[in-house]
């Protein structure tokens, strides 16, 4: 009898222990802190059905995202203003062999910049748009501070003037050659009022290849962008601009664009991703 009672007690205790252990295991909390192969951490569970979501940064407790410390340019690249490239009134307008100005276009804010020219008459080719003229005055003053004396040779040209000039070059050298150094009417930057050909104060090598390598040309190559101008037709970019190297041809585009063009060593065409332009 005692043996039977002892057996029952033992079996009862064993049953209680088995049930108790099962209950303990089933009640283990899921904390979500597993950092094994899944890489899942608290509050950042990744669904296997949406693997792309593992690249999404969730906000921290204070609401800051992983973009903290970024500047606007880091998070988005606004790029060039393509509307400005096609706007004849914009100082950033793109005019070349492919993109033309309206035939009747004439800037409404032409003024005479207070700088030295190779001639004394106040005529059309001495004029520039107001913003460009002011920048030119600053450019010439900066050059003089460095002991470099510049002179304007030719700035604004009307459509009719460009037509006469181009036709004269065609009669002299033929149309194909003329197009390597002169623009078809409507396609000339001089018609914008934002471009100017310059030389040294003595007028030597004005709009001529011999201007390259001079003290004045070297100074412009280094400092023109500081006042918003670029060497519009740089050496080695003929297949892009469509024109031979012209170290005397300055184009006002504003300081911001000029600085970027200089930093990247590109042309206005490359700035707008409007390439290639052939030399024909």
Instruction: Enumerate the active-site residues.
Output: 246
Peptide bond into 206 cis (omega under 30): no
State the residue for tokens 């709009």: 207
Closest alpha carbon to 120 in 159, 149, 151: 151
Q: Which residues, 6 or more positions from 215, have their beta carbon under 8 angstroms from its beta carbon?
A: 148, 200
Helix, strand, coil percent values for the chain (each to nearest 5): 40, 10, 50
* CA distances to 119, 196, 234 from 114, in Å: 13, 14, 27
User: What is the residue-wise DSSP string for 34-76?
Assistant: --STT---TT----TT-GGGGGPPPP-TTS--TTTT--HHHH-
* CA distances to 163, 232, 262 from 265, in Å: 32, 12, 5
Q: Which two tokens stand for residue 173?
A: 């050298």
State the residue for tokens 């390439």: 275
Burial status of residue 257 (CB atoms within 10 A of its CB: 0-12, 13-18, 19 or more):
buried
Q: Are 231 and 249 in contact (CB under 8 A)?
A: yes
State the residue for tokens 């949406």: 50
φ and ψ at 101, to 5 degrees?
Answer: -85, 160
């Amino acid at each position: 009898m005692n043996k039977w009672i002892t057996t029952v007690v033992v079996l009862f205790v064993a049953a209680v222990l088995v049930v108790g252990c099962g209950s303990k295991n089933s009640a283990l909390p899921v904390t979500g802190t597993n950092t094994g192969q899944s890489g899942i951490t608290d509050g950042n569970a990744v669904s296997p059905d949406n693997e792309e979501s593992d690249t999404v940064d969730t906000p921290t407790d204070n609401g800051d995202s992983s973009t903290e410390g970024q500047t606007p340019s880091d998070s988005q690249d606004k790029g060039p203003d393509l509307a400005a490239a096609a706007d004849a009134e914009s100082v950033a307008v793109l005019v070349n062999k492919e993109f033309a100005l309206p035939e009747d276009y004439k800037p409404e804010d032409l003024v005479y910049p207070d700088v030295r020219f190779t001639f004394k008459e106040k005529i059309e080719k001495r004029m520039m748009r107001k913003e460009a003229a002011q920048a030119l005055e600053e450019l010439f003053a900066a050059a003089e501070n460095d002991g470099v004396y510049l002179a304007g040779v030719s700035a604004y040209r009307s459509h009719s003037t460009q037509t006469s000039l181009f036709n004269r070059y065609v009669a002299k050298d033929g149309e194909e050659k003329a197009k390597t150094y002169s623009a078809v009417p409507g396609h000339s930057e001089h018609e914008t009022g934002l471009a100017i050909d310059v030389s040294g104060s003595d007028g030597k090598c004005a709009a001529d290849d011999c201007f390259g390598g001079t003290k004045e040309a070297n100074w412009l190559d280094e400092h023109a962008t500081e006042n918003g101008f670029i060497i519009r037709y740089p050496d080695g970019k003929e297949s892009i601009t469509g024109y031979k190297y012209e170290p005397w041809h300055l184009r006002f585009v504003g300081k911001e664009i000029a600085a970027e063009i200089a930093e990247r060593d590109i042309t206005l065409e490359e700035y707008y991703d409007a390439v290639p332009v052939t030399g024909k």
